[in-house]
Structure 1
Amino acid sequence: MGLLYLLALLVSLAGMVVLDRRFSLFFFRSPGRAAVVMLVGLVFFLVWDLAGIGLGIFFRGETVFMTGILLAPELPLEELFFLALLCYLTMNLFCAARRLIARRPA
Structure 2
Amino acid sequence: MPGLYLLVIVVSAAGVALLDARHRLALWARPLTTAIAVFVGTAFFVVWDLVGIAAGVFVQGDSPLYLGIELAPHLPLEEITFLLFLCYLAAVCAGAGTRLLARKEPR
Common fold, TM-score beyond 0.5? yes
Q: Deviations over 1:57-83 (max 9, x none)?
A: 001011101111100000000001100
The number of residue pairs the alignment matches comes to: 106
**What residue is the counterpart of 1:89 in the other structure?**
89
Runs (5+) with no aligned partner, structure 1: none
What is the Cα deviation at residue 85 of structure 1? 1.0
Distance, in Å, in 2 between the alignment partners of 1:80 and 1:19 is: 22
**What residue is the counterpart of 1:71 in the other structure?**
71
What is the Cα deviation at residue 16 of structure 1? 1.2
What is the Cα deviation at residue 105 of structure 1? 4.1
What is the Cα deviation at residue 2 of structure 1? 0.4
**What residue is the counterpart of 2:58 in the other structure?**
58
Runs (5+) with no aligned partner, structure 2: none
State the AA in 1 paired with 2:90.
T
Please give the residue correspondences for 1:1-106 in structure 2 after superposition, counting only pairs within 5 Å. Answer: 1-106=1-106
User: Any runs of at least 4 consecutive aligned residues in structure 1 with deviations exceeding 6 A, and if so which?
Assistant: none
| TM-score w.r.t. length of structure 2 | 0.96
Q: Helix, strand or coil for the counterpart of 2:29?
A: coil
Distance, in Å, in 2 between the alignment partners of 1:14 and 1:81 is: 12
Distance, in Å, in 1 between the alignment partners of 2:47 and 2:105 is: 42
RMSD over aligned Cα atoms: 0.8
